[in-house]
């Protein structure tokens, strides 16, 4: 799926809602710690976006876009408990790209697919300034955590382990 379409969809959403945002051009990079250094902010202010497969039972499978601070790991047990699931794991790359409408390393903290449920850790939405790749490896975006919450409407749940890196 062309990431330019997803990028444009994000920009259209921000512009149509008069949301204040900042675009940041940088060298192509999709790793949270490296791109945070290129953008010039602490890794904790980045939104790390992970697509998970959640098997509720043998017949029911859901997909979750977990958004956590860049310096933390998603707690798969917390996701399992949250969904009363029998299994939670990382989604394969092809399915993740199809659901996110973006290549790995450029996944937005927004879901534009009805199959992809958005769950954000409270420490993400608490950020005065939240940074993430804008469906492109060479461009990032910064918005307030409050604006992110207003636009993305994530389910807010504690999905990181205390003290995880």
Residue 108 covered by a domain: yes
Tell me the C-alpha distance between 115 and 100, whole Å: 10
Task: Give the contacts of 117 (CB within 8 A, at least 6 positions apart).
Answer: 62, 63, 64, 65, 111, 155
In contact, 158 and 72? CB cutoff 8 Å: no
The torsion region of residue 56 among left (phi > 0), alpha (psi -120 to 50) and beta comes to alpha
Residue 160 covered by a domain: no
User: CATH code at 30?
Assistant: 3.90.960.10
DSSP-derived 3-state class of residue 53: strand
Specify which residues 48 forms β-bridges with.
68
Q: Apex CA 157: angle with CA 39 and CA 14, to 5°?
A: 45
Residue 61 covered by a domain: yes
Q: Which domain holds residue 118?
A: 3-152
Residue 54 covered by a domain: yes
Predicted pLDDT at 163 = 55
Output the tens digit of pLDDT for each of the chain's 165 residues: 344 799 999 999 999 999 999 999 999 999 999 999 999 999 999 999 999 999 999 999 999 999 999 999 999 999 999 999 999 999 999 999 999 999 989 999 999 999 999 999 999 999 999 999 999 999 999 999 999 999 999 999 999 986 545
Which two tokens mark 48? 């790390």
Residue 68 covered by a domain: yes
Tell me the C-alpha distance between 56 and 48, whole Å: 24
Predicted pLDDT at 1 = 39
For residue 51, which phi and psi values (nearest 5 degrees)? -100, 125
Which two tokens mark 13? 């959403």
**Would strands 87-90 and 139-143 be described as parallel, antiparallel, or unpaired?**
unpaired
Tell me the C-alpha distance between 138 and 154, whole Å: 25
Tell me the C-alpha distance between 18 and 14, whole Å: 6
Give the up-direction half-sphere exposure of residue 26: CA atoms within 13 A in the CB hemisphere: 22
Residue 131 covered by a domain: yes
Residue 74 covered by a domain: yes
Predicted pLDDT at 4 = 74
Tell me the C-alpha distance between 122 and 126, whole Å: 6
How many independent structural domains does the chain possess? 1
Residue 138 covered by a domain: yes
């Amino acid at each position: 799926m062309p990431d330019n379409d997803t990028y444009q969809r994000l920009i259209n959403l921000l512009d149509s809602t008069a949301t204040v945002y900042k675009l940041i051009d940088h060298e192509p990079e999709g790793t949270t710690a490296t791109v945070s250094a290129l953008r010039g902010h602490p890794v904790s202010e980045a939104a790390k976006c992970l697509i998970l497969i959640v098997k509720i039972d043998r017949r029911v499978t859901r997909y979750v876009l977990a958004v956590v601070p860049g310096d933390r790991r998603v707690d798969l047990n917390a996701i399992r408990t949250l969904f009363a699931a029998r299994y939670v794991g990382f989604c394969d790359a092809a399915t993740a790209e199809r659901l996110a409408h973006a290549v790995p390393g450029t996944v937005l903290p927004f879901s534009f697919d009805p199959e992809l449920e958005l769950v954000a850790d409270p420490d993400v939405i608490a950020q005065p300034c939240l940074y993430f790749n804008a469906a492109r490896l060479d461009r990032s975006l910064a918005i307030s955590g409050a604006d992110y919450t207003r636009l993305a409407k994530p389910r807010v749940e504690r999905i990181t382990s205390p003290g995880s890196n």
